[in-house]
Amino acid sequence: MDSRVALVRKYIAPSVIKSDSIQLHGLVKAPLFKALNSRYKLGSLQIVQDVDWNAKTTPSDSPEPLAATLNSNRSLPMTKFPKQEILEQVKLDTKVGKWRKFMTGWFRIGLYLLKSYKTGIQNTLKVFWDTRNEEQKFSIKNGALANLVREIEMHEINTRLSSSSLPTSSSAKAPLRPLSINRKTLVELIRRDQIWKLPVFFTLVFIFEEVSALIFTFFPRVCPYNCLTPGGYKKLSQLIYHGNNRHTR
């Protein structure tokens, strides 16, 4: 493999290499990794280290840090499911008898998931409530959508003029200002509809409690986006991927 790919593996996922080489092997074979690797070899991508995530989004116009406007962590699925860590803690716990370790381990995993579901439900409600006024920015009736499209086009033109080496008059360049909507808000607007999954989801969790995690593993569409485990997210992504392939054939 190219030495540059080895560099990516060294600086981005050293813990993965040490703990689970099988998952890394599957990652390397993924279509997304191959596409990114080919782009990197062509010089289209650069690896940036020591990124200052507290840097401002623009030099002077926006006081918000980049991390605060880039992504919506409260609407994201679970990125790590500490199943092995929980089982290892139970295994080393001398207060738990050997004959109870198996059931106790899975019971604690169920409790961990229930706490995650509670947090996910709360965040889903917060996302829906906090973005209740943002939909007006995409309204066609009041002309807000047309203004936003025009704003994006002008921002792109000004960005190209600012980065261009061609001499241009100062009047042709408008000062770059942040867009009226950032990526985080846009992502949360897209995920507002997850609130309609809560009635069925909450009912299943209330009835089956710890066992509900097993149901959501086989039926991930029932689960709100920010309540998905890594395995559930993978299964849902595969279902969407295969569904899109059927429609394109």
More confident residue, 35 or 226: 226
Q: Is the pLDDT of residue 13 over 90?
A: no
Mean pLDDT, residues 110-129 taken together: 92
Q: Is the pLDDT of residue 127 over 90?
A: yes
pLDDT value of residue 234 = 85
Q: Is the pLDDT of residue 203 over 90?
A: yes
Q: Provide the β-strand partners of residue 56.
A: 65
Say which range, 7-16, 45-54, 109-118, has the weakest mean pLDDT: 7-16
Which secondary-structure segment (H or E) carries 126? helix 101-130
Mean pLDDT, residues 114-129 taken together: 93
More confident residue, 129 or 32: 129
Mean pLDDT, residues 43-65 taken together: 55
| Prediction pTM value | 0.63
Q: Is the pLDDT of residue 7 over 50?
A: no
Q: What confidence category does residue 15 fall into, taking pLDDT thresholds of 50, 70 and 90?
A: very low
Q: What pLDDT digit, counting tens, does each position of 161-199 carry?
A: 776 655 555 545 555 566 667 888 888 888 889 999 999
Mean pLDDT, residues 92-100 taken together: 88
Coil, helix or strand at residue 56: strand
Q: Is 143 left (phi over 0), alpha (psi -120 to 50) or beta?
A: left
Per the CB < 8 A criterion, the answer to whether 232 and 216 are in contact is: yes
pLDDT value of residue 181 = 76
Q: Is the pLDDT of residue 123 over 90?
A: yes
Q: How many CB atoms lie within 10 A of CB 35?
A: 10
The first and second tokens of residue 224, run together, are: 């709100």
pLDDT value of residue 125 = 94
Mean pLDDT, residues 47-74 taken together: 60
Q: What confidence category does residue 62 fall into, taking pLDDT thresholds of 50, 70 and 90?
A: low
Mean pLDDT, residues 38-60 taken together: 60
Say which range, 14-28, 67-81, 127-141, 188-202, has the weakest mean pLDDT: 14-28
Where do runs of H (alpha helix) occur along 140-229? 144-163, 183-190, 198-208, 212-218
pLDDT value of residue 224 = 93
Give the residue carrying structure tokens 């485990």: 229
Mean pLDDT, residues 3-27 taken together: 44
**Average pLDDT of every residue of the chain:** 75
Burial class (CB in 10 A: 0-12, 13-18, 19+), 232: buried
pLDDT value of residue 39 = 77
